[in-house]
A and B are shown apart, each in its own frame.
Chain A
Amino acid sequence: MLVVAEHEQLPVAQARAGEPAAWERLFRRYRLPVYVYVFELVHDEQASLDIVQETFIAATRNIGGLREDGKFGGWLFGIAHQKCIQRWRKQDRESAALEQAAQEPDEFEDDASELLIRREQEAEFMSLLEQLPLPHRSVLLLHFIEDFSLEEIARITETSLGTVKSRLHYAKKNLRKLWEEK
């Protein structure tokens, strides 16, 4: 299992007090995860870098709105997610795809087994990931990158818990199906 953000001692209180060193540490911790998440949604390096920068600037300005310091990671990913949606709305594409509601399964079955990828399968895995619908990919990335809980993913993507369960379920199912077909 991954070591998730909530078990780390992050200097959120110091950052809230305006200490640049604390912000640097927080950004060093999250810069790559946030970038990976954004890039895998927008598929454009410069646009992804812009979104990461906008996200970090927004975080420094709006840290007062974060109620629980332990939720900093989810809060930061939530800002990044909103920035992606804003960009899509401006470009008037894919936003509908992200916002579309997925069908909910009767029962959610979480697959506890971790997906492990061999070196020769890495490119194939990335290709399959890109084939997933955007809402499914978004949820799966949050699960893979930071191992966020379903509740946290629901908060980040501003969707209901049921929708997140559904999307994660179908994302894993589709990924496995594509994997087996290859």
Chain B
Amino acid sequence: MKTPREVLFQRHRAVEAKLDAISRAAARPSPRAVNFLRDFWLEVFWTPRRIWAGLAAVWLVILAANLDFHAGAPRMTAAVSPNAGGFLIALHEPEQVMAEFTRGPAPQKAEPPKPPAALPPRSARHVEFRII
């Protein structure tokens, strides 16, 4: 005769080797940096892995559409190339007109500075005072 506890334990004895490995690993904690990286990986990438896979799929679709668009682009430029010169002239014409309007009159040539007037010697200077 056995107790329910004995029956329950006996039923799962086979898994003890795996539990032993788990216990040993958990009892010897890894360094904090490793814990942080593991947590970061689990929280940011592993747990929402389906969301990441979905986003990756969306980006692949966008990339494929973009590549397809660029593959068709040369044909379009070839189609418009005869008018490309005229188009460029038309594009630059307003710029030239604008430059003409904003261009001011040519700057006048500045007069050279005059030399200072020659002062008489200090002894020859005549100072006058007037009392009113």
CB distance from A41 to the nearest CB of B (A): 12
Please count the residue pairs between chain A and chain B whose beta carbons lie under 8 angstroms apart in the complex: 90
CA gap between A2 and B20 in the complex, in Å: 23
- Of B7, B12, B16, most buried by chain A (CB within 10 Å of CB) is B7
Q: Find the A residue at minimum CB distance from B8.
A: A36
| Cross-chain contact of B27 among A24, A125, A141, A147 (Cβ < 8 A) | A24
What chain A residues lie within 8 Å of B28 (beta carbons)? 20, 23
Q: Find the A residue at minimum CB distance from B47.
A: A90
CA gap between A28 and B16 in the complex, in Å: 10
Query: How many residues from B make CB contacts under 8 Å with A?
Result: 25
Q: A32-B16, A45-B15 are in contact. Are A52 and B22 (CB under 8 A)?
A: yes
What chain B residues lie within 8 Å of A114 (beta carbons)? 3
| Cross-chain contact of B1 among A31, A52, A117, A141 (Cβ < 8 A) | A117
Asked if B94 CB lies within 8 Å of chain A CBs, one says no
| Segment of A53-61, A65-73, A102-110, A152-160 in the binding face | A53-61
Asked if B29 CB lies within 8 Å of chain A CBs, one says yes
Contact B26 A117 (CB under 8 A): no
Contact B1 A116 (CB under 8 A): yes
What chain B residues lie within 8 Å of A49 (beta carbons)? 15, 18-19, 22
Q: A20-B28, A57-B26 are in contact. Are A35 and B1 (CB under 8 A)?
A: no
B-binding residues in A (CB < 8 A): 2, 20-21, 23-24, 27-28, 31-33, 35-36, 39-40, 45, 49, 52-53, 56-57, 59-60, 114-119, 122, 125-126, 129, 141, 144-145, 147
